[in-house]
Amino acid sequence: MGLCLLLGSAAASAATINVSPGGCTLHDAIRAANADAARGDCSAGSGADTIVLPDGHSVVVGGTALATITSPMTIRTASGGMASIVDDSHRVMEISGTSNVTLQNLILSGGAWDANDGSGGSGLRVDNSSGVRLVDVDIENNYRRGGVTPFGGGIHATSSSLTIERCSFLRNKVSSSLATSRGGDIYLKDSSASIIDSSLRGYPFRDAGFYYLLQSGAERGAGIYAENSSLQISGSLLEKHLGTDLHLADHSSAQLINSTLYHDNIDVRERIYLEDGSALDMNNSTLFADVYGIFSMTCSGCDAVNVSASNSVFVSNGALQTCVQRSHVDGGNGPLLFSSNVANLFPVDD
């Protein structure tokens, strides 16, 4: 009898909270899951809850920002369609001080954050949280405005661990007014991230956004900026950022596996920039920077950079070279070594 009661209690430890038009709102659903109590028209949460949005549902955030996620939960759609969350006055979502949060089949767009508080993440901020998963999430058209340190247009993560799988980043940006701006799509600080089968795209045309990134400090990490962080990118594409796709600083490390970093427009920087003893390991990957002889990787002001690569290529100004290894180079002046082994050029979307 005691065992049966124990099993019954465990089975009831999580609740499903259904968001519905005119009924339970996403804001109240998050509050209910955080508090394990009913909020608004939403039923009470209980443990690691699941919040379900109807396929095709659109949440337009008004004067009050969505509640911060502070407990384990999953937010997804009912049957695999996409639901959109739009907010042009605040960051779209925030996760803080928790673990095991999954966001799935969501579009986070239009976020705008301009508070002078040293934070960022107009699409999503993750702080002091572990086991955060984004699956089939689109993060697009988010803008980190102003502030002393405008970091992370799409995602800003501090002291956290993330898994980003089958996600799309498009046209996220940071302020053009300050040279301290970093991380157009993703900014990592004291964090770890695994990016799998995802795409991060910047501005493919010479529009206002194109000039915007050129004029901002986000030319260093217009795609991803990592500070004292570890990163694995596999099966992914970073392209058409006006500025570096990947910037590693403060002893960060990254693995680049079966991935392509690509740009064929003018006025861009190298695809990868390393400094402060950061390290990179490449396998079956391509760095394509076919612009005015700009090299596809640069080290500047480094104390000890270690770069190793296998079956990978650098393309610079039309020249195809097969990369073998670059190791322990101070100041970016050491040679890059190449051999004639066959390497893959992965397909790139136009």
Structure-block tokens of residue 131:
């086991």
Q: Which of 245, 239, 207, 205 is nearest to 226 (CA)?
A: 245
State the DSSP H helix or E strand holding residue 26, giving kind and residue range, or none if neither. helix 26-35
Q: Is 275 helix (H, G, I), strand (E, B) or coil?
A: coil
pLDDT truncated to tens, each residue of the chain (350 aa)? 444 444 444 445 789 999 999 999 999 999 999 999 999 999 999 999 999 999 999 998 877 889 999 999 999 999 999 999 998 778 899 999 999 999 999 999 988 776 666 667 789 999 999 999 999 999 998 887 666 666 778 999 999 999 999 999 998 888 755 566 688 899 999 999 999 999 998 754 333 333 333 333 355 677 899 999 999 999 999 887 767 788 888 999 999 999 998 876 554 566 788 888 788 888 888 887 655 444 566 665 444 446 777 787 777 655 554 443 333 333 344 444 433 334 444 444 43
**CA-CA distance, 152 to 144, in Å (whole number)?**
7
For the beta carbon of residue 62, count every other beta carbon within 10 angstroms.
10
State the DSSP H helix or E strand holding residue 215, giving kind and residue range, or none if neither. helix 208-215
Q: Which of 282, 285, 241, 231 is nearest to 259 (CA)?
A: 285
Sequence-separated (6 or more) residues with CB below 8 Å from residue 124: 91, 92, 93, 94, 95, 103, 108, 134, 139, 154, 155, 156
Residue 39 pairs with which residues in a beta bridge? 42
**CA-CA distance, 325 to 188, in Å (whole number)?**
26
Amino acid, single-letter form, for residue 43: S
**CA-CA distance, 264 to 294, in Å (whole number)?**
11
Residues in the chain: 350
For the entire predicted model, the pTM comes to 0.84
